[in-house]
Amino acid sequence: MRIKRLGLIASILLLLPLFGCWDRRELNDRLFELGSGVDLIEDGKILMVGQFMIPAKSGDTGSGEKQSYFIETGTGKNAFDGLFDMQLKLSRRITRAHRHNIYIGEKMAESGISNLLDSVTRDPDSRIRSDIWVVKGGTALEFMQMTFPLEKMPAIALSKSRQIIGKKIGNSVLEILIAENVEGNGPTLPTVELFYDRKLRKKTFHVYGRAILNRKQQLAGYYDAMESAYRLWVIGETKRIPITVQMANGQGTFSVEIQRTTCQIRMEASSGQVNIEVKLKGGAIVQESNTSWDLRQTNDLQTYEAELNRHVEAAVSSIIQKAQKEFKVDVFLFGRTLSRQHPEQWTALNSRWEQAFSGAKVSVHSHVKIKQIGLQGPPPNHDKP
């Protein structure tokens, strides 16, 4: 009997950590914020925007099309002050433990987000695994006021969009904190763009690409979706990339998916001049061919590979040059590579790496092989010229 009692007590003790609250009062006094927005407004003040889940009413069966969220704002001298102003308008305490995304208006991003990151990392109720998005050409308030038919909470829609296209979610805050301590590295953030769809006659949005921040955490510019994909290839954070190639002399287009992508980087620095060699490899699968070439023929297949590698070399060279001349930010971890390959040379360049990177000579070499062409050679009803 004594053993049974001890077993019962032990079971109760093990179950205690599974209870989230000790009573209903605490939960009923909380308001869950699933998305936040931050905008820079007049007089340098901060506008805080919150998207909150409306608590379910007692006995609610979940039927009907009632809106499941509402939006509130607060204004202040900084993020904390704006949050306090927002809290004064609400009857429940704001809880950010379930927040998925933080949206930043373009003007706010241009002025810098270091103070915002300070408030996020100091708040014990804030999730460190959240995504920070820059709203290209708009404000956080504009985006958060938009409706999204597929999700009851529009603030979390972009997280699902990123998952579908194979991107990691919930790591933007961590990435930017890590980037601060990586040699010569410039942080980036995912970007959403608002635009008017003329065919559907409505305002909508899509995942645009990446926002590039300088070392002061100020917006320096953008990479679109394809530019962002090429960057991931260079830094080794993707294993597949879709590419559509325009053949030379207007002879049509073809599309491939490059898989098992790899990148090797060799760097040298002499007398302040940095030389960077980028070698890209992968295996391509032809997804669509709108040309008259017969891929069953060795010469035609080699022509495809040559056009594909020409396209990749030009595209990657372009995004690196854009970072050098327009952004003046190293978003390819070249500084880290130099510090590992040539520690003494990095020590001499560390303090002026942005200038050295901007003037570096870069060569890009692509060695992608076409591994699969599908079940046919030339497309139907196409004659070779």
Q: What is the DSSP string of 171-198?
A: -HHHHHHHHTTSTT---EEEEEEEEEET
Tokens representing residue 353 in the block: 């790496």
pLDDT, tens digit only, all 385 positions of the chain? 566 665 666 666 565 555 554 444 466 778 889 899 999 998 899 999 999 988 775 445 454 567 788 999 999 999 999 999 999 999 999 988 888 899 999 999 999 999 988 888 888 777 777 889 999 999 999 999 988 877 777 777 777 776 655 566 556 777 787 777 777 778 899 999 998 889 988 888 888 999 999 988 999 999 999 999 999 999 998 889 999 999 987 788 999 999 999 999 999 998 889 999 999 999 999 999 988 888 888 898 999 999 999 999 999 999 999 999 999 999 999 999 999 999 999 999 998 999 999 999 999 999 999 999 876 666 665 555 4
Of 193, 198, 280, give the one whose Cα is nearest residue 243: 280
The pair phi, psi for residue 99, each rounded to 5°, is: -70, 130
- Given strand 253-270, what is the order of strands in its sheet? 240-246, 253-270, 273-290, 361-372
Tell me, what's the pLDDT at 25? 47
What's the rounded Cα separation, in Å, for the pair 211 and 188? 5
Residue 334 near residue 353 (C-beta atoms within 8 A) = no
**Core vs surface per residue 70-98: b (16+ CB within 10 A) or e:** eebbbbbeebbbbbebbbeeeeeebebee
pTM: 0.85
Tell me, what's the pLDDT at 174? 78
What's the rounded Cα separation, in Å, for the pair 291 and 308? 14
What's the rounded Cα separation, in Å, for the pair 356 and 331? 14
What's the rounded Cα separation, in Å, for the pair 174 and 156? 18
| 224: enclosing H helix or E strand | strand 219-224
Name residue 126's amino acid: S
